[in-house]
């Protein structure tokens, strides 16, 4: 499972001109599901997302988590995060799960995030969405659940 996390002062997602999700202070999370992802990947990312200390304290140092600042999440499904661009000019998405595989896992991630008393908004899975956001910082971080298997040096 891959996610791009952006700290925002506000964000929204629309489909066909209708706003489906809107948040103030918090994180926009773009998420792609791999065909090999399991519940362990969902748990790993959930814990990282809610506990990552990327909000500033009074001195501006990254010291607070999403929970600490009582922030919200806008979670957007984005299979293109698994684009393979090594060959040719057209990306391949062979590493992304099919929609039938990905949607239940995406919904489980939403459920797990919501269980932490965090406001979780989203768009429409598989829909053509317009996402608007004001990146705060800017702060953008890439998370990959496969990293949990790699040793730190």
Residues recognised as catalytic: 78-80
Closest CA to 143 of 34, 35, 29: 29
Query: For residue 25, which of 3, 45, 54 has the smallest C-alpha distance?
Result: 54
State CA 92 to chain mean position distance: 21
- Please enumerate in sequence order all residues whose Cβ is within 8 A of that of 124, keeping only pairs 6 or more positions apart, or say none: 15, 20
From 45, 44, 20, 17, select the one nearest 30 (Cα to Cα).
45
């Amino acid at each position: 499972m891959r996610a791009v996390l952006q700290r925002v002062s506000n964000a929204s997602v629309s489909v066909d001109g209708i706003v489906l999700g809107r948040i103030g202070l918090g994180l926009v999370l773009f998420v792609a599901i791999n065909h090999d992802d399991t519940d362990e990947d969902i748990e790993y990312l959930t814990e990282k997302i809610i506990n990552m200390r990327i909000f500033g304290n009074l001195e501006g140092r990254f010291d607070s988590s999403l929970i600490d600042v009582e922030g919200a999440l806008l979670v957007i499904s984005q299979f293109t995060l698994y684009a393979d661009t090594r060959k040719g000019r057209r990306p391949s998405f062979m590493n992304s799960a099919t929609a039938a595989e990905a949607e239940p896992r995406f919904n489980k991630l939403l459920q797990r995030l919501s269980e932490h008393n965090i406001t979780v908004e989203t768009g429409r899975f598989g829909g053509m969405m317009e996402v608007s956001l004001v990146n705060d910082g800017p702060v953008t971080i890439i998370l990959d659940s496969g990293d949990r298997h790699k040793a730190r040096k």
